Amino acid sequence: MEKIFNSNMHCAACKGNIETTLKKMDGVLEVSANLVNNVVKVRYNEKKINEQDIINACKGIGYKLEVIDEDEQYSKEKSYKLDLIKIIVGLVLLIPLMFFSMSDMYSGLIPDALKEPLYLLPLVELGLTLVIIVIFFNYYISGFKSLIKLSPNMDSLIFLGSLFSLVYSLYFIIKLIVSPGDYFVYEMEPGKIMFHTYLDSAAMILVIVSIGKLIENLSKRKARSTINELLKLRPKYANLIKDNEIVKVETKFLKAGDKIIIKEGETIPLDGVIVNGTTSVDESLLTGESLPIYKEEGEKVIGGSVNKDGSITVLIDKSKKGNVLSKIISLVMEASNMDTKLTRKVDRVARVFVPVVLGISLLVFLIWIIIDYATNGGNPTLGTHFTSGFDEAFSFAISVMVVSCPCALGLATPISLLCGSSLFAKNGILVNKSEAIENMKDIDCLVLDKTNTITNGKLTVNKYNIFSKNPAKHNQIYTIEKFSTHPLSEGIATLLSKECELDKNFTMISNVPGRGVKGIYKDETIFIGNDMLLNDEYHGETNEALNKYLDEFKTEGTLPIIAFTENEIIAIFSLKDELKKDAKEFIQEVKRVFKKVVLLTGDNEIIAKNIANEVGIEEVIANVKPDGKGDLIKKLKEENYKVMMVGDGVNDSIALTLADVGVGIAKGSDVALASSDFILMNDNLLDIIDIIKISKKIRTNINFNLLWAFIYNVVFIPVAAGVFAPLSFVLSPMYASMLMALSSVTVCINALTLFLYKRKIQ
């Protein structure tokens, strides 16, 4: 059984702690925690454990889990009103606290009533600090639980930083109450010690970190904007036909087999087939296709598309979970959490990050204590900054704890992948395997299938000649092609429909495998097919004109189709698979990017070479079966090429799987191309240029985020530890907390810049 839980995790260490804890449970089969939408997916043996066991296990280490349904993992957005109120109240209290804590700098502004006794003002500061701690006490609870369970996270660092600052300040306040004559606050007095507390740091750490987390969460919400837009495509209600009546029901109750009526302007809730009516549908938000698409009876419609013209009746053929919209949403979200070599490395680092930081913090404290007490007799090395050696060592240790940021490291990759996959989806491209984004940087060879990739996949009549002058024969050919299921019949039927009428006197129309079709009219059989069918069934006189046309069409690389009876040649048609409108422009673009471009097809060599010459491809491999396509990919890889394969996902599945990057072109509502790394929701070849460019931008974005997270921690942890103290460059806990919040926000904002991408080629 699989359950989906919403959680309160918020850093890479949280993600690691939850996954590690649950994986240790007997009965848990698989765990996947997503830091971007705070969701945990658990697959488990329900005979051994239940969902409450999972919730309790996480509760024990400081995390709250709540069971949600499949849609809620994308749509359930936390309200940040309470967080905002807490931050506003915290800031209102923090301002006077900061003013009082720095009172020695402007003692004239402090009311005389607060100056005597000396401990009165510190007690006021303590009161303000305690209120702020109560407001943000969740950090204390979470941090404490994580420490007790030996699963420290970012909350543990914040908790310890704030707690130690509070305890140390309480220690000083007690000393001030007991021995007020030993200290001075406003004016330096000989023989007395400057009084200073860290109450401002204890409070500010909580407030500043909360501000940073709020900005980070809002950035994540923006990153999920594409998913939210897609979710809005699913209407809440639908008109269900039940017992010959129309009943308004919630969409979530619809199932495969239901019939619904979609009125003009309404959104189609689930995938289905039109059983009554015709219309034009807008699929732009799903496929990137800007123009409405004409649909008639028997054609599929996609859930989430908009009915633009007239009322239609739709038979639902897929459940909510299996429809295109759900698959798109799932792929966009899952792309941010896919297990790649890079994310595995980052997760391993993040898992040990907090314990290492705690160790460094303790080491820094001990080093400064030794320096101050061994060389300065307990006096601070930096006398202008600190009141005692202990004060100095304590400040540096707290700063190390507070400045370190596992969030920036843990968010660097998934937040960029989410924004990137959302950007892909906006352009009609789905990411099936996010590791392919990283692989794109090495691709130097492009292999293209012909049919449905370079060409439209629909054969149309290029040239033709009618030998028979009998109109009845023309009508018979049209009738056979109109009612035939053969894929080559449509082009001829379309041509003849302008001048011919249907003849319904046929007793049978059937396919001739590998040859064509035939229809029986009274006692006469009419054949329509290739020259092999002609050789098998034609017994009349040799037709020199026919032979001339056959040679001409074959030389041109088109497919000749002959209509005939046993004794008479009726007509010959030349069928051609037309190029896609953007094929030539696409080939020009990819030639600038790849070392090698290959056209790979099962068609005959003449047709393949003609298509290749038309678009500008030099290397052509024809007459290749599906397994042969896979062999070619292997051969290219053995020659040290990094291969991208583009195909329609049916007979190209072997090659798509073997390629370093596979790009499948979805047909209609089929987005479940498991063998593809990327899925094109429409057949615009220029989307492949987008794959190249967007992948590069995502890699650059991830690299910047990781570099920033790495440099930030490598630089500021030593600074916070006091390495540059001899140069009078000291980082107080207050400024350390600001930097920590800034580091996570920087990563999120940088990831959002991916949405600035605009396609240059249209």
Q: Which of 400-409, 414-423, 592-601, 705-714 is predicted with the least confidence, judged by mean pLDDT?
A: 400-409
* Domain that includes residue 60, residue range: 2-75
Q: Residue 57: which CATH number?
A: 3.30.70.100
Q: Is residue 141 part of a domain?
A: no
Can you give the pLDDT at residue 563? 94
3-state SS, residue 431: strand
Q: Is residue 208 part of a domain?
A: no
Query: With left for phi above 0 and alpha for psi between -120 and 50, is residue 242 left, alpha or beta?
Result: beta
Is the pLDDT at 759 greater than 80, yes or no?
Answer: no
Is the pLDDT at 486 greater than 90, yes or no?
Answer: no
When pLDDT is averaged across residues 227-249 and rounded to a whole number, the result is: 80
Is the pLDDT at 416 greater than 60, yes or no?
Answer: yes
Is the pLDDT at 527 greater than 90, yes or no?
Answer: yes
Compare 748 and 102 and report the one with higher pLDDT: 748
Does residue 481 sit in the same domain as residue 626? no
Scanning the structure block, which residue is given the tokens 């583009």?
646
Can you give the pLDDT at residue 285? 59
Can you give the pLDDT at residue 672? 42
User: Which pairing describes strands 245-250 and 237-242: parallel, antiparallel, or unpaired?
Assistant: antiparallel
Q: Which of 131-145, 146-160, 269-283 is predicted with the least confidence, judged by mean pLDDT?
A: 146-160
Taking CA atoms, 665 is separated from 37, 378, 686, 688, in Å, by 29, 73, 12, 10
Q: Is residue 518 part of a domain?
A: yes
Q: Is residue 45 part of a domain?
A: yes
- Considering the candidates 200, 271, 391, 449, report the single residue annotated as catalytic: 449
Is the pLDDT at 18 greater than 80, yes or no?
Answer: yes
Can you give the pLDDT at residue 279? 85
Domain boundary, last residue among 260, 294, 317: 317
**In the numeric block, which tokens belong to residue 12?**
């890479």
Does residue 571 sit in the same domain as residue 646? no
Is the pLDDT at 197 greater than 80, yes or no?
Answer: no
Model confidence pTM above 0.85: no
Q: Residue 534: which CATH number?
A: 3.40.1110.10
Query: With left for phi above 0 and alpha for psi between -120 and 50, is residue 58 left, alpha or beta?
Result: alpha
Domain boundary, last residue among 285, 317, 349: 317
Taking CA atoms, 77 is separated from 37, 217, 222, 224, 225, in Å, by 9, 10, 11, 10, 11
Does residue 501 sit in the same domain as residue 648? no
Q: Which of 24-28, 433-437, 570-574, 611-615 is predicted with the least confidence, judged by mean pLDDT?
A: 433-437
Q: Which long-range contacts (CB under 8 A, 24 or more apart) does 496-503 make?
A: 499/474, 500/471, 500/474, 500/475, 501/475, 502/475, 502/478, 503/472, 503/475, 503/476, 503/478, 503/479
Share of the chain above pLDDT 90, in %: 14
Is the pLDDT at 113 greater than 70, yes or no?
Answer: no
Domain boundary, last residue among 26, 46, 75: 75
Compare 405 and 50 and report the one with higher pLDDT: 50
Name every residue whose Cβ is closer than 8 Å to that of residue 246 and which is 6 or more positions away in sequence. 239, 240, 261
Burial class (CB in 10 A: 0-12, 13-18, 19+), 116: exposed
Is the pLDDT at 680 greater than 70, yes or no?
Answer: yes
- The DSSP bridge partners found for residue 679 are 430, 664
The values of phi and psi at residue 252, to 5°, are -65, -15
Q: Is residue 652 part of a domain?
A: yes
Indicate the number of domains in the chain: 4
Is the pLDDT at 89 greater than 90, yes or no?
Answer: yes
Is the pLDDT at 599 greater than 50, yes or no?
Answer: yes
C-beta separation of 237 from 249 below 8 A: yes
Confidence of residue 229 (pLDDT cuts 50, 70, 90): low
Does residue 597 sit in the same domain as residue 540? no
Can you give the pLDDT at residue 597? 93
Tell which residue, 746, 737, 716, 721, has the closest CA to residue 98.
Answer: 737
Q: Is residue 713 part of a domain?
A: no
Cα-trace Rg, the chain = 36
Can you give the pLDDT at residue 447? 93
Can you give the pLDDT at residue 668? 44
Per-residue pLDDT tens over the stretch 430-478? 888 778 888 888 899 999 988 778 887 777 888 899 999 889 899 999 9
Q: In the annotation, is 444 catalytic?
A: no
Does residue 574 sit in the same domain as residue 607? no
Confidence of residue 669 (pLDDT cuts 50, 70, 90): very low
Amino acid at 574: S
Q: Residue 312: which CATH number?
A: 2.70.150.10
Does residue 436 sit in the same domain as residue 524? no
Does residue 441 sit in the same domain as residue 477? no
Q: What is the DSSP letter of 459?
A: E
Per-residue pLDDT tens over the stretch 327-381? 777 776 666 555 556 666 666 776 778 788 889 999 999 998 898 888 777 777 7
Per-residue pLDDT tens over the stretch 260-276? 999 888 888 888 899 98
Does residue 510 sit in the same domain as residue 559? yes
Can you give the pLDDT at residue 72? 58
The values of phi and psi at residue 703, to 5°, are -60, -40
The values of phi and psi at residue 645, to 5°, are -110, 135
Does residue 596 sit in the same domain as residue 561? no
Is the pLDDT at 179 greater than 80, yes or no?
Answer: no
Q: Which of 172-176, 346-350, 589-593, 624-628 is predicted with the least confidence, judged by mean pLDDT?
A: 346-350
Tell which residue, 48, 37, 44, has the closest CA to residue 70.
Answer: 37
Does residue 474 sit in the same domain as residue 613? no
Per-residue pLDDT tens over the stretch 540-561? 888 889 999 988 887 877 888 9
**In the numeric block, which tokens belong to residue 564?**
């005939």
Tell which residue, 256, 339, 266, 249, has the closest CA to residue 307.
Answer: 266
Name every residue whose Cβ is closer than 8 Å to that of residue 271 and which is 6 or more positions away in sequence. 300, 301, 302, 303, 316, 317, 318, 322, 323, 324, 669
Q: Is residue 698 part of a domain?
A: no
Q: Is residue 721 part of a domain?
A: no
Query: Average pLDDT over the chain, rounded to whole?
Result: 81
Does residue 552 sit in the same domain as residue 599? no
Does residue 604 sit in the same domain as residue 526? no
**In the numeric block, which tokens belong to residue 384?**
């202008």
Name every residue whose Cβ is closer than 8 Å to that of residue 196 and which is 6 or more positions away in sequence. 172, 386, 387, 391
